[in-house]
Amino acid sequence: MARKPRIKLPKSVNKGQVVQIKTLIPHKMETGQRKNKKGGKIPRFIINKVEAVFNGKPVVTADLHPAISANPYFAFYARIDESGTFKFVWTDDKGGKVTTSKKVTAN
């Protein structure tokens, strides 16, 4: 789970502007339905939560299930009233977390 997520978010916006934020993290999102060559089940291993927090305040969270495709893509909107930092956290089934931050300037 060390691979880098990708975030698309403008560096500077007008105050109060609503912008789309696109996120994608490389992950195979193993469903738990597949079988290996010997017929045993490959255990489920997915990213089950994505959180976006702006200046400490939650903006959006997503609970994901195995029905979400590999390399989960998640796009949403946010209204930006002040300059600050977006923090994104992905959590997997084993409790592993990937965190990344992006700065945004509001003019």
Does 93 engage in binding with another protein (CB under 8 A)? no
C-beta of residue 73 within 8 angstroms of C-beta of residue 53: no
CB 72 → another protein: shortest distance, Å?
7
Q: Which residues on neighbouring strands pair with residue 38, listed in sequence order? A: none
Does 10 engage in binding with another protein (CB under 8 A)? no
**What DSSP state is assigned to residue 3?**
S
Does 78 engage in binding with another protein (CB under 8 A)? yes
Q: Rounded CA gap, 61 and 66, in Å?
A: 17
Binding mask 33-72 for another protein (x = CB under 8 A): xxxxx----------------x--xxxxxxxxxxxxxx-x
Q: Which stretch binds another protein (CB under 8 A): 3-11, 74-82, 88-96, 97-105?
A: 74-82
Does 2 engage in binding with another protein (CB under 8 A)? no
Pull the structure tokens for residue 22: 């696109």
Q: Rounded CA gap, 107 and 105, in Å?
A: 6
